[in-house]
Amino acid sequence: MNRSRRLLMRGIGYLTLFPLLFLFSKKVSSAPNGLTEKVKNRKIEKDVSELPNQISYLEDIYSLVPRIDGQLITSKHAIKSGPLLNSQIFYDKDDTVSTADGYSVFVSHDKLRWKADVSNGVDVRLAGLLSDGSNLGSCINKIILGEIAKVKAGKSIFECVTTIYIPSKFNGRANPNYILDEPIVLPSFFCLKTNGFVYISVPDNITYAIKVTNDILDFSTNTLDKSPTDIQGCKTFDAGGGRFVFSGSGSHNSTTGLYIGNQRQHSFAVRDLLINDITLQYFENGIEFAPNNNFINTFDKINVVMCKYGFLVSADNSVSAGEKIVFNDCVFGNNDIAHFRLAAQVNYYIINCSLDYTGQHVFFIDETCALSRLIIDKGHIEGVPQYLVYCPKKLPLPLKIQFRDVMLYMNGAIYNSMRQLIFSPEGNCHIIFDGCDWTFINYYEHSPYISLTGYRDKTDINNRIVINNPLPRVTGLRSNCILPQYKSSLLGAIPISHAKKGASVLNKFVDSSNVIFISETSGVEIIYGDIDDDNAQIIEVISYSNDTVVDLISAFYHSGSIGSFWSGGCSIELVDVKSKHCNMFFIIDSYNENYKKVINFDEYKDAKNNIVESYFSDVIDLNKIFSTAKNANKHSGFIGVWQSVNQPKCAVTFQPKIRIQEFKGVIRVKLPVFWRE
């Protein structure tokens, strides 16, 4: 292509782009400071008394007399003790009414109006930021109050500039941190913007680092006549590929990192926000959520770490709040008490988040959280020293929590094997695990109970826990089948009825009990023991010979289908076992007989002749389990042990049993349980 043709094409390109540039110029000029429009239309003329191109400080502008409309001057600094600015200031001849705001409009003694370039937001340095960054909060608030005044005067959101620019490094490596001298109060339609990483230190004496609220506005929804009823979809933080990092002085302080929501009723709604590009660390509360005119807000890729509580919802009555609060790809890590403490009726969607290592609990539920709904979808939960769900007080109405396809890595406790992970003794928690994978890192049992709800504190009785695992993957346990709660098992929550201590239960069929203790070997006694402090009946098994065989059998036949996983176990204490081994395994006997209950010993012996097939689990030595577990501190006398077998063939009914054999001495048994998946 020859040179003339290239020039022609270049000219066509310019002509093609010109309408777009013209439209952009008109859009910018509709803001309070139309820099682009003024510069485009100004007359290009020289004057013998032409003004300087640069001034040292903004205060120097007041002594200058412009020669042309739209005349540009660069201010090197805003104030004498401020950082480098290099901001363009222009003269607006047509403006005769704007009042000085101290950061974007400057009115001289001659009533001349100079304006800063705010087409990309108001630079916080224009508001008088100091070189050490120690007055960041007051500078931002100065801008916000000035812009809100313009909204009130013009009755329109479009009267103000809603973006505030904070440079990512204002003083280089020597002092990279800003310091908040007062809390930032940010209306929900404002945005803090930067182009990298902004580090902000928050002193102890500040209640919160930043508060996103419309309480600061003296008007409510539907009161602006030139704007939408609500400003929707605002991006509160825009770090341009970087991140705003707010750091408190430690989780022991009383400072909140990010407060979001209104405290006054009928305030302009805080809604449809996208909150991302932010890290909150070392606060009492990373995020505090006020459930008042606060809804449809999304937290995306935020990090909340090393706080007392990661996300705290105030214990207030929910007023037009809580609809669809979403967390996407967020990290909550190393928070002291809980990642989430929830105390109001709100619906949460926690999607593909990492909830890593809490000091105590993952979800702390207060009684005022009733009727809330939590969906935890995908993602990773790791490091749970106490409870996955902790609800110490009674919920007046149900709360639903659903874990869907979540990786549950249950380490972080003194014992990292199977244990109680849900605590709600007063009840009304409905918890569902759909397709979740579980990892426990200690391959030995230690807990006195088998289920996720324990047994002692009535969590098992007063709640509803369901596990739906079509393709379970459980690592670190002997079985892929986890018992959600005793009451939903095949035997129910009270498998053995209470009886007089010392009475024999060997080969006895008691109508009020769902378990039969059978032994056809000599030299064995099976008697009722004490009622334990969890109100469970203890059974004592005394063996005088190493060849003893004892079966704990379900009194009922149960239905099943091909591919079912059957599980069985109990809480066992080795009181005085003198033999080298004490073996235990789980058996499923299949029958082509209808459902029934075995009512006497003779019927049991006759039924053995009708067994179609038996399925056996691996044999485990209880002596080895106890020798490992007793090396740990605070070990309970009882240990819950269970095993599982797969049912590969069809039959009409099945009878599960636990067999303990080849031991001599005394063992104690309570809470036998069978379940099927």
CA 368 to each of CA 240, 394, 464, 653: distance values in angstroms, whole numbers, following the listed order:
39, 9, 19, 46
**What are the pLDDT digits (tens) for 617-632?**
999 999 988 887 655 5
**Which residues are bridge partners to 437 per DSSP?**
407
Average pLDDT (104-114) is 92
**Pairing state between β 407-409 and 437-439:** parallel
The length of the chain is 677
**Which residues are bridge partners to 328 per DSSP?**
300, 351
Ramachandran assignment for 352, one of left (phi > 0), alpha (psi -120 to 50 degrees), beta (any other): left
Copy the structure tokens of residue 404: 């869907």
Residue 601: is it exposed, middle or buried by C-beta count within 10 angstroms (0-12/13-18/19+)? middle
pLDDT for 174: 64
For the ranges 85-94, 309-318, 320-329, 453-462, the lowest mean pLDDT is seen at 309-318
Q: pLDDT band for position 157 (50/70/90)?
A: confident
DSSP string, 81-129: TSPEEEEEEEE-TT--SPPP-SSSEEE-TT--EEEE--BTBEEGGGGT-
* Amino acid identity for residue 233 in this structure: G
CB 289 within 8 A of CB 325: yes
Average pLDDT (468-495) is 88
Residue located via tokens 């969890």: 534
For the ranges 85-94, 591-600, 654-663, the lowest mean pLDDT is seen at 591-600
CA 170 to each of CA 124, 177, 213: distance values in angstroms, whole numbers, following the listed order:
11, 9, 28
**Which value, in Å, is the radius of gyration of the alpha carbons in the chain?**
36
Average pLDDT (570-579) is 94
For the ranges 130-134, 225-229, 535-539, 611-615, the lowest mean pLDDT is seen at 225-229
Copy the structure tokens of residue 148: 């809100």
pLDDT for 636: 53
Q: pLDDT band for position 227 (50/70/90)?
A: low
Does 37 score more than 50 pLDDT?
A: no
CA 617 to each of CA 11, 567, 568, 608, 609: distance values in angstroms, whole numbers, following the listed order:
83, 9, 10, 19, 21
Q: Say how far apart CA 379 and CA 303 lie, in whole Å.
A: 14
Does 366 score more than 90 pLDDT?
A: yes
Percent of the chain with pLDDT over 90: 67
Residue 163: is it exposed, middle or buried by C-beta count within 10 angstroms (0-12/13-18/19+)? middle
Choose the most confident range, by mean pLDDT, from 161-170, 319-328, 518-527.
518-527
Q: What is the pTM of this model?
A: 0.88
Q: Say how far apart CA 28 and CA 25 lie, in whole Å.
A: 5
CB 304 within 8 A of CB 278: no
CB 170 within 8 A of CB 132: no
Does 297 score more than 80 pLDDT?
A: yes
pLDDT for 627: 82
pLDDT for 309: 98
**What are the pLDDT digits (tens) for 232-273?**
678 999 999 999 999 999 878 899 999 999 888 777 888 899
Copy the structure tokens of residue 561: 């289908």
CB 74 within 8 A of CB 52: no
pLDDT for 218: 77
**What are the pLDDT digits (tens) for 369-418?**
999 999 999 999 999 999 999 999 999 999 999 999 999 999 988 888 88
Q: How remote is the C-alpha of 529 from its chain's centroid?
A: 45
Q: Say how far apart CA 75 and CA 61 lie, in whole Å.
A: 9
Q: Say how far apart CA 407 and CA 354 lie, in whole Å.
A: 10
Does 313 score more than 70 pLDDT?
A: yes
